[in-house]
Chain A
Amino acid sequence: MGTETKTPFVRLAKRAEMAPRKIWLIRISSIIIALILGCIPIILTGNNPVSAYGVIIQGSLSRPIYVRQTIKIAVPLLGCALAIAPCFKMRFWNIGAEGQITMGAMVATYFALFWVDKVPHVPLLIIMFLTAAIAGGLWALIPAFFKAKWNTNETLFTLMMNYIAIGIVAWLQGGPWEGRKGSQLIPMFDKAARLPTVLGVHCGWIIVLVLVLLMYIYMNKTKQGYEIAVIGDSVNTARYAGMNVGWIIMRTMFISGAISGIVGFIIVSGANFTLYKGVANGVGFTSITVAWLSQLNSFAMIAISMMLGILEKGANTLQTKMQVPASIADIITGILLFCMLSSEFFINYRLIFRGRKEVKA
């Protein structure tokens, strides 16, 4: 033996419960740390991080038109995060929002293309809205049904459903719905199938803000929201309480898919005015980040989706002004997610270094 042995250099200890205010303080400081860490890739591209962040803010918020463009990016992110929230609360890992958006967008496009002559403006939009919701909901119901009946893995199932949805649109784009032959494009929507603008941005932002309120009430004040929370905590407890778990899973997934479908409708009818296979454009995945970072709190989602909107819009300006690749926004988003997740670790644990006496709290 002989060699002196000591206690380990660093140990972990579980923390006592923290005040909610302090928890949010830690989360906000983790965002600040992430922005500081985000300087590293900017420096590596040979730029001054301070001016780069300046350009990002300038490019996204300095002029009304920039703000509108930023909001346009944030709206689908927010809507889709709201869609995912009840599933995640239930611990049903729905990563199929991308496909659900695509299906909603596809069905809305059908009415936009083929019913535009038969129905006036507002009724047409209402039809598009409702059918998009139903399409997204039904698409989400498929994996939920299999989960409820045979306990299939929902993560893989919903992921695969994305590719099927995208594949269907790709086929429509090059086949039955193709506009000019050989163009591989679906024609642009008629004016009557486009969402009206309010304060310079398509009125999707109003729809999404209404959804924020509705989702908050649904999750916190209703019987169904309670059922979702119980299942998320323990399926056995839910069964013990007499809940029909399979039915609740299917119902919640339908609601989730329906909201994603509405987001799909907002994207085609408010922003793109056409359908193509990349219509969801990763929104279904990025919104997972939004939902997670905001701890499934509807109102926090507004702030987080705006923040990601600012990063993305600003990064585009960054690219044109300073020749920094716009994908820097993705890198910073990744660092953000990483920092936020590790902040949860520090909320639950603290480190004790060797030789340091503990201070009594």
Chain B
Amino acid sequence: MSLRGKALENNYAIDMRGITKRFGQVVANDSIDLKINRGEILALLGENGSGKTTLMNMLSGIYQPDDGEIYCNGERVYIRSPKEAFEHGIGMIHQHYKLIEVFTAAENIILGLDEEKMDLSKTSEKVRDICRKYGFDVDPSQKVYDMSVSQKQTVEIVKVLYRGADILILDEPTAVLTPQETQKLFTVLRNMKADGKAIVIITHKLHEVMEVSDKVAVLRKGKYIGTVKTSETNPQALTDMMVGHAVTLNIDRPRYDNPQKKLIVENLTCIDEEGVKKLDSVSFIANTGEILGVAGISGSGQKELLEAITGLYPVKQGSIRFINKEGNEVELVGKTPMKIRQTGVGMAFVPEDRLGMGLVGSMGMTGNMMLRSWRNGKGALLRKKPPEELANRVLEELEVVTPGVDYPVRRLSGGNVQKVLVGREISSQPEVLMTAYAVRGLDINTSYTIYNLLTEQKMKGVAVVYVGEDLDVLLELADRILVLCGGQVAGIADARTTTKEEIGLMMTQFSTKGAE
């Protein structure tokens, strides 16, 4: 501890030199140099798979570098576990929170500490001090299961501060927050910065980088590209650094001439196994030639809504009607997925869990194309030719990078996995196309490929339902935005005229009711 106090002014809080990390043949980090200053917010920017999290995991003791050196306050260190990271004052807030639901905030905060005596009241006092100092809003005696996502995140941050960390790393901290919560978090980060802490946020959201950071370090495909001052750059320049070539950041949003009703959902109510209402009288209409965006905090019923429409989630009440080409209404409630398909309802679904629900990870592209067609043909034998042709077509048209159509899709990169899935679903020539978090984890290029594919489908007269988490994208891509909050429809807004703040407010509209 005393070493840290004596640290010289001109020393970096963290100085990583030539860090290399390999996973199999993949070089996740290739000889990266990174310097982190005190009293500064550094944004670590890069596309998914560029090695940001891997690099930070080596600081927090989760991975060991294969090569390179780490200096903390000018002194060479070896960080072999998260515990040792804390000894050097390094704390990381991971994307997926690691809290025990049935414990209180204070209990979670002291969990794992070797203190002589567990004194919860003293802990609570110290927690309140930290909260006052930086402007957090946490009740130490509140149970974690009663907390909202942003409160849980706050507990994680306080936990790290409680352990005396003065170098904080936050992995995609705003991914699950509403715009209002994000602002609150940024205020806290600025307070910590003023207190002389070194802060790193891992992100790929450019507008947040511009708003909160002092410096931006960019990684691309495992390589360090450079560090720039935020005040001296702009989103377009940063994107070009991230991707390596110029990219246009605009999504084209043409209007479709003659939208017709395609899917009518009325008073849809779903209850899960524990008897909790997941959807509460949801009503809306999806039209042809339209992208209907669905916004909401994660877990507001998005998953259940799409699964109920596809016949995968039991419906308690309500009606889901599909209007077929002849103009007749077909009731979908009470039908199995197979029955829905056999009734001639052209519905495609790109689920959130790509490998766990949309695809068979251990099979190749051919085997996965078969997932829609394996029943075709008479007799007991499989027909492998048509799916193989389809696989080759998808491979070509969407430029899937794979050693071959029989190479297990589990081993493909996230973007290619999604291309296989979206390619198969679009190839079925659907009338309704539903996607859940279709660009999660994808790089910018692939994301735009997906946006373009969806818009293309829309202009063909498909009713597209797009569940998304990035409000900026929803506002640019969708025609209308349906906001879910606690399983209810908080409102449906015209995406061309509404604002991010308006959507953000709707997302938390019933939150007081939901907490009961």
A interface residues (Cβ-Cβ under 8 A, vs B): 1, 5-8, 11, 13-17, 221-227, 229-230, 233-234, 236-237, 239-244, 352, 358, 361
Query: Does residue B359 face the partner (Cβ distance < 8 Å to A)?
Result: yes
Contact of B25 with A16 in the complex, beta carbons under 8 Å? yes
A235 CB, nearest partner CB in chain B, Å: 9
Contact of B360 with A234 in the complex, beta carbons under 8 Å? yes
* Cross-chain contact of B3 among A1, A7, A222, A226 (Cβ < 8 A): A1
23 interchain pairs, CB-CB under 8 A: A5-B77, A5-B78, A7-B64, A17-B24, A221-B381, A222-B382, A223-B375, A224-B380, A226-B370, A227-B374, A230-B371, A234-B360, A234-B361, A236-B356, A237-B358, A239-B312, A240-B337, A240-B351, A240-B358, A242-B338, A242-B341, A244-B336, A358-B66
Contact of A234 with B357 in the complex, beta carbons under 8 Å? yes
* B contacts with A, residue count (CB < 8 A): 39
CB-CB < 8 A to A239: which residues of B?
A: 312, 337
Q: Nearest CB to that of B81 among chain A residues?
A: A8
CB-CB < 8 A to B310: which residues of A?
A: 240
* Cross-chain contact of B362 among A8, A11, A221, A233 (Cβ < 8 A): A233
Query: Does residue B22 face the partner (Cβ distance < 8 Å to A)?
Result: yes
* Cross-chain contact of A222 among B80, B341, B381 (Cβ < 8 A): B381
| Docked pose: A242 CA to B376 CA in angstroms | 13
Query: Does residue B411 face the partner (Cβ distance < 8 Å to A)?
Result: yes
Interface of A is mostly: mixed
CB-CB < 8 A to A244: which residues of B?
A: 336, 338
Kindly name the residue among A1, A15, A227, A239 whose own CB sees the greatest number of chain B CB atoms within 10 A.
A239
Q: Nearest CB to that of B360 among chain A residues?
A: A233
CB-CB < 8 A to B359: which residues of A?
A: 237
Contact of B23 with A14 in the complex, beta carbons under 8 Å? yes
B51 CB, nearest partner CB in chain A, Å: 16
Contact of A237 with B357 in the complex, beta carbons under 8 Å? yes
| Docked pose: A132 CA to B380 CA in angstroms | 25
CB-CB < 8 A to A16: which residues of B?
A: 24-26
B308 CB, nearest partner CB in chain A, Å: 13
CB-CB < 8 A to A13: which residues of B?
A: 22-24
Contact of A241 with B371 in the complex, beta carbons under 8 Å? yes
CB-CB < 8 A to B229: which residues of A?
A: none
Contact of B374 with A233 in the complex, beta carbons under 8 Å? no
* 19 extra A-B contacts, CB within 8 A, seeds A226-B382, A237-B356, A242-B337: A7-B64, A8-B64, A16-B24, A17-B24, A221-B381, A221-B382, A229-B367, A230-B360, A233-B360, A236-B353, A236-B356, A236-B357, A237-B357, A237-B358, A237-B359, A240-B357, A240-B358, A241-B374, A358-B66
Query: Does residue B349 face the partner (Cβ distance < 8 Å to A)?
Result: yes
A241/B372 contact (C-beta < 8 A), A5-B78, A14-B23 known:
yes
Query: Does residue B453 face the partner (Cβ distance < 8 Å to A)?
Result: no
Q: Nearest CB to that of A6 among chain B residues?
A: B78
B366 CB, nearest partner CB in chain A, Å: 11
CB-CB < 8 A to A358: which residues of B?
A: 22, 66
A90 CB, nearest partner CB in chain B, Å: 13
Q: Nearest CB to that of B66 among chain A residues?
A: A358
Q: Nearest CB to that of B63 among chain A residues?
A: A11
| Docked pose: A16 CA to B382 CA in angstroms | 31
Q: Nearest CB to that of A239 among chain B residues?
A: B312
CB-CB < 8 A to B22: which residues of A?
A: 13, 358
| Docked pose: A17 CA to B26 CA in angstroms | 11
Query: Does residue B355 face the partner (Cβ distance < 8 Å to A)?
Result: yes
Q: Sorted from nearest, which 5 A-B pairs have the closest CB atoms?
A: A242-B338, A16-B24, A16-B25, A242-B337, A236-B357
A11/B64 contact (C-beta < 8 A), A16-B24, A234-B357 known:
yes
B65 CB, nearest partner CB in chain A, Å: 8
Kindly name the residue among A5, A6, A11 whose own CB sees the greatest number of chain B CB atoms within 10 A.
A5
A233/B361 contact (C-beta < 8 A), A11-B64, A17-B411, A239-B337 known:
yes
Query: Does residue B363 face the partner (Cβ distance < 8 Å to A)?
Result: yes
Contact of B381 with A229 in the complex, beta carbons under 8 Å? no
CB-CB < 8 A to B372: which residues of A?
A: 241
A234/B355 contact (C-beta < 8 A), A5-B80, A8-B64 known:
yes
**Segment 301-345 of B: residues with Cβ below 8 Å from A:** 310, 312, 336-338, 341
CB-CB < 8 A to A243: which residues of B?
A: 338
| Docked pose: A361 CA to B341 CA in angstroms | 48
| Docked pose: A241 CA to B363 CA in angstroms | 14
CB-CB < 8 A to B356: which residues of A?
A: 234, 236-237
A240/B349 contact (C-beta < 8 A), A8-B64, A223-B374, A358-B66 known:
yes
B272 CB, nearest partner CB in chain A, Å: 15
| Docked pose: A34 CA to B25 CA in angstroms | 30
* Cross-chain contact of A14 among B24, B78, B341, B357 (Cβ < 8 A): B24
CB-CB < 8 A to A223: which residues of B?
A: 374-375, 380-382
Q: Nearest CB to that of A222 among chain B residues?
A: B380
| Docked pose: A7 CA to B66 CA in angstroms | 10
CB-CB < 8 A to A221: which residues of B?
A: 381-382
CB-CB < 8 A to B381: which residues of A?
A: 221-223
Q: Nearest CB to that of B342 among chain A residues?
A: A242
| Docked pose: A361 CA to B80 CA in angstroms | 26
| Docked pose: A94 CA to B44 CA in angstroms | 50
A7/B78 contact (C-beta < 8 A), A222-B380, A223-B381 known:
yes
Q: Nearest CB to that of A225 among chain B residues?
A: B382
**Segment 66-121 of B: residues with Cβ below 8 Å from A:** 66, 77-78, 80
A7/B80 contact (C-beta < 8 A), A237-B357, A358-B66 known:
yes
| Docked pose: A65 CA to B161 CA in angstroms | 77
B412 CB, nearest partner CB in chain A, Å: 11
A131 CB, nearest partner CB in chain B, Å: 24
| Docked pose: A358 CA to B65 CA in angstroms | 12
CB-CB < 8 A to A15: which residues of B?
A: 24
CB-CB < 8 A to B78: which residues of A?
A: 5-7
CB-CB < 8 A to A234: which residues of B?
A: 355-357, 360-361
| Docked pose: A252 CA to B236 CA in angstroms | 57
| Docked pose: A226 CA to B360 CA in angstroms | 11
CB-CB < 8 A to B3: which residues of A?
A: 1
| Docked pose: A222 CA to B383 CA in angstroms | 9
CB-CB < 8 A to A229: which residues of B?
A: 360, 362-363, 367
Q: Nearest CB to that of A5 among chain B residues?
A: B78
B337 CB, nearest partner CB in chain A, Å: 4
| Docked pose: A14 CA to B372 CA in angstroms | 33
CB-CB < 8 A to B370: which residues of A?
A: 226
* Cross-chain contact of B80 among A8, A227, A230 (Cβ < 8 A): A8
CB-CB < 8 A to A225: which residues of B?
A: 382
Contact of A237 with B360 in the complex, beta carbons under 8 Å? yes
CB-CB < 8 A to B349: which residues of A?
A: 240
| Docked pose: A352 CA to B353 CA in angstroms | 34
B407 CB, nearest partner CB in chain A, Å: 8
A237 CB, nearest partner CB in chain B, Å: 6
Contact of A361 with B25 in the complex, beta carbons under 8 Å? yes
A158 CB, nearest partner CB in chain B, Å: 24
A226/B338 contact (C-beta < 8 A), A13-B22, A221-B382, A240-B357 known:
no
A61 CB, nearest partner CB in chain B, Å: 38
Q: Nearest CB to that of A236 among chain B residues?
A: B357
| Docked pose: A283 CA to B443 CA in angstroms | 53
| Docked pose: A223 CA to B367 CA in angstroms | 11
**Segment 371-402 of B: residues with Cβ below 8 Å from A:** 371-372, 374-375, 380-382
Q: Nearest CB to that of B362 among chain A residues?
A: A233
CB-CB < 8 A to B358: which residues of A?
A: 237, 240
| Docked pose: A161 CA to B370 CA in angstroms | 37
| Docked pose: A229 CA to B77 CA in angstroms | 48
A214 CB, nearest partner CB in chain B, Å: 12
CB-CB < 8 A to B375: which residues of A?
A: 223
CB-CB < 8 A to A241: which residues of B?
A: 337, 371-372, 374
CB-CB < 8 A to B411: which residues of A?
A: 17
